[in-house]
A and B are shown apart, each in its own frame.
Chain A
Amino acid sequence: MSPLAFFEWLADLPWSVDLHESQYAYSIIESIHVWALCLFFGMTAMFDLRLLGWTMRSVPVSEVIRRLLPWTIAGFIIMIASGTLLFFAIPLRSYQNIFFRSKMLLLLLAGLNVWIFHSRVFPRVAAWDVDGVPPRAARIAGAFSLVLWIGIVFSGRMIAYNWFDCDRQPQPAIINFLTSCLAAESGQ
């Protein structure tokens, strides 16, 4: 089964249609997604700013991460759960949406950044835990995280707009390539 066929099949499931056509469910889930964003993005940003040495310089880095991480994880779980529901309400269009795709790519990069930070940088935190300004590697991880999450919020917000949707042809060939649009089907 091709990805396209799979997402077409998803879009035809009764509960996907119900979610899509519901009067309030979609809006409520999206509000939850935004509230969870406040929790997740807020906590992540404050931690990144600490890694950059731009706030809470007198609080040890390990203390900030230990105390804030549970809240960050809680926010992340709600984001994934609500985000998945939002995706299932509009699976096919989301799959072919260029902003959804850039969001997923940036999410992967953000995950990679977290992995590198926790496997390479954070294990040696004892050496610079109380430093107001952490070493370069930690600052780079903080800066990458901040930039990637800002990009993710931007992409996420733009998914709502249909400028590059497959049913809006003609589009440049590169757009149709990046969104896997079958231009021939759309009369191109």
Chain B
Amino acid sequence: MALLPFFQWCYQTPIGEAIRASTWLFPVIEACHLIGLGLTAGAVLLVDLRLLGVGLSKQPVAQLAAGAQPWLLGSLTLMFSSGIPLFLSEAIKCYYSFPFWVKMTSLCLVLVFTFTVRRRVTRTGSSSGRPLPGRATALISLGLWFGVAWGGRWIGFS
């Protein structure tokens, strides 16, 4: 697959150009991205800690997950709407960055996992029975998000 031409096209988009031409835009968008990261982490941790049997362990999983859902979707929207412009501004650097590909792989996996397996587990999970699928779900979710955050931070170091 020849992805490089696509990355070059991304790099040359007006949004990418505008961000590169500005002193302030990249840092400010990046700070928004960091706020989005914190909010996403909060919405994810609330439920994953519960699945691990800690945190708000007295509350029904389904109820916590339903409460966290709008904040998860909202913070993911903030992440995408800040992350995509950041990517456009340095698409070619990203293409050659190993951490970028770790991040994108983890991100695809965690999004699919969150909206399929994790969604089903949190909807059917009760406060008592069968903790094992819940624990495994939480560990996979946290592990993949860890990969996303690691990759994201190290794009900047490379």
Q: Does A58 contact B (CB under 8 A)?
A: yes
Say whether, besides A37-B38, A153-B31, A42 and B153 are in contact (CB < 8 Å). no
Contacts of B27 in A (CB 8 A): 157-158, 160-161
Smallest beta-carbon distance A185→chain B, Å: 25
Smallest beta-carbon distance A131→chain B, Å: 16
Contacts of A63 in B (CB 8 A): 56, 58-59
Q: Does B71 contact A (CB under 8 A)?
A: yes
Contacts of A165 in B (CB 8 A): none
Instruction: Establish whether residues A30 and B43, one from each chain, have CB atoms under 8 Å apart when the complex forms.
Output: no
How many residue pairs bridge A and B at CB < 8 Å?
93
Q: Does B41 contact A (CB under 8 A)?
A: yes
A:6-51 near B, CB below 8 Å: 27, 30-31, 34-35, 37-39, 41-46, 49
Q: Does A68 contact B (CB under 8 A)?
A: yes
Smallest beta-carbon distance A156→chain B, Å: 8
Q: Does B111 contact A (CB under 8 A)?
A: no
Among candidates B35, B43, B56, residue contacting A67 with C-beta atoms closer than 8 Å? B56
Smallest beta-carbon distance A75→chain B, Å: 10
A:74-130 near B, CB below 8 Å: none
Instruction: Establish whether residues B153 and A30, one from each chain, have CB atoms under 8 Å apart when the complex forms.
Output: yes
Contacts of A177 in B (CB 8 A): none
Main secondary structure of the interface of A (DSSP, over half): helix
Residues of A in contact (CB 8 Å), total 33
Q: Which stretch of B9-17, B62-70, B101-109 is in the interface?
A: B62-70
Contacts of B38 in A (CB 8 A): 37-38, 41-42, 45, 153
Q: Does B46 contact A (CB under 8 A)?
A: yes
Instruction: Establish whether residues B41 and A41, one from each chain, have CB atoms under 8 Å apart when the complex forms.
Output: yes
Among candidates A34, A59, A71, A157, residue contacting B31 with C-beta atoms closer than 8 Å? A157
Q: Does B140 contact A (CB under 8 A)?
A: no
Contacts of B44 in A (CB 8 A): 42
Instruction: Establish whether residues A42 and B41, one from each chain, have CB atoms under 8 Å apart when the complex forms.
Output: yes
In the bound assembly, the distance between CA atoms of A57 and B157 in angstroms comes to: 41
Contacts of B43 in A (CB 8 A): 42, 46
Contacts of B46 in A (CB 8 A): 42, 46
Q: Does B8 contact A (CB under 8 A)?
A: no
A55-B67, A57-B67, A63-B56 given; 7 more Cβ-contact pairs under 8 Å: A30-B153, A31-B150, A41-B38, A42-B45, A49-B71, A67-B58, A158-B31
Q: A residues bordering B, Cβ < 8 Å? A: 27, 30-31, 34-35, 37-39, 41-46, 49, 55-59, 63-64, 67-68, 71, 150, 153-154, 157-158, 160-161, 163
Q: B residues bordering A, Cβ < 8 Å? A: 23, 27, 30-31, 34-35, 37-46, 49, 55-59, 63-64, 67-68, 70-71, 146, 149-150, 153-154, 157
